Chains A and B, each alone.
Chain A
């Protein structure tokens, strides 16, 4: 079936370095994508979103890139900090009759001091 999947289950980076988390999606009808951060014992928290009519969107220390040609989404975190350690999920929100929010498998980001 259709899915949103992540390339890497775990990413380990040095504090201060930039992190890049990747996500592939398969539903070309999806036109809205969201990155969530989930810390241990908590529900996912919204980080940043992007619509399909955009290629790039920037937030505070985070940037999301969308490549619709290859159905690829990435989250870039600048100057990674220990507080960034968490599991990151991409999700697609299909604007069709269902309006379902579908999640990928997640990437665990570990920040080395």
Chain B
């Protein structure tokens, strides 16, 4: 069982609200990722980090932002939520070595009304 945790599991929020999705891992992994996934669809990389103070945008354009102040913590923030942000958000982490699988959290299912 991977030690990576996401909170909250489910979130329903009104349009225009600011939200932060939390992700923490206790494995000491350098690399962390955020993916966005619509039901039954593929995972799209929206942000990733190689380590502390490192953040990069992924392949899918996103209005969210991330920060990496501590190795174990990689929060994702939406300044002003919109219905188009409704989706599942999955956080993952892996070691910095090239050949290493990513471990995923349970995900946060976000609904913006």
Asked whether A102 and B99 contact (CB < 8 A) given A42-B106, A43-B105, A43-B107, the answer is: no
Give the distance to chain A from B5, nearest Cβ to Cβ, in Å: 11
Asked whether A32 and B103 contact (CB < 8 A) given A101-B92, A103-B42, A103-B43, the answer is: no
CB neighbours of A78 from chain B (8 A): none
Within 8 A of B (CB), among A66-113: 87, 89, 93, 95, 98-106, 108
Contact between chains at B31 and A34 (CB < 8 Å): no
Task: Out of A1, A49, A93, A103, name the residue touching B35 (CB < 8 Å).
Answer: A103
Instruction: Specify which of B50, B102, B103 lies most central, judged by the most chain A CB atoms within 10 Å of its CB.
Output: B102
Name A45's closest neighbour in chain B (CB-CB).
B104
Considering the chains assembled together, what is the distance between the CA atoms of A107 and B96 in angstroms? 28
Contact between chains at B90 and A44 (CB < 8 Å): yes
Contact between chains at B103 and A93 (CB < 8 Å): no
Contact between chains at A100 and B106 (CB < 8 Å): no
Contact between chains at B41 and A49 (CB < 8 Å): no
- Interface range for B: 20 to 34
Residue A56, interface by CB 8 Å? no
CB neighbours of A105 from chain B (8 A): 41-42
Contact between chains at B45 and A102 (CB < 8 Å): yes
Contact between chains at A99 and B50 (CB < 8 Å): yes
Residue B74, interface by CB 8 Å? no
Give the distance to chain A from B19, nearest Cβ to Cβ, in Å: 19
Contact between chains at B59 and A102 (CB < 8 Å): yes
CB neighbours of B75 from chain A (8 A): none
Considering the chains assembled together, what is the distance between the CA atoms of A104 and B59 in angstroms? 13
CB neighbours of B41 from chain A (8 A): 105-106
Chain A positions near chain B (C-beta within 8 angstroms): 1, 31-32, 34, 36, 41-46, 49, 51, 87, 89, 93, 95, 98-106, 108
Chain B positions near chain A (C-beta within 8 angstroms): 31, 33, 35, 40-45, 48, 50, 56, 58-59, 90, 92, 94, 96, 98-107
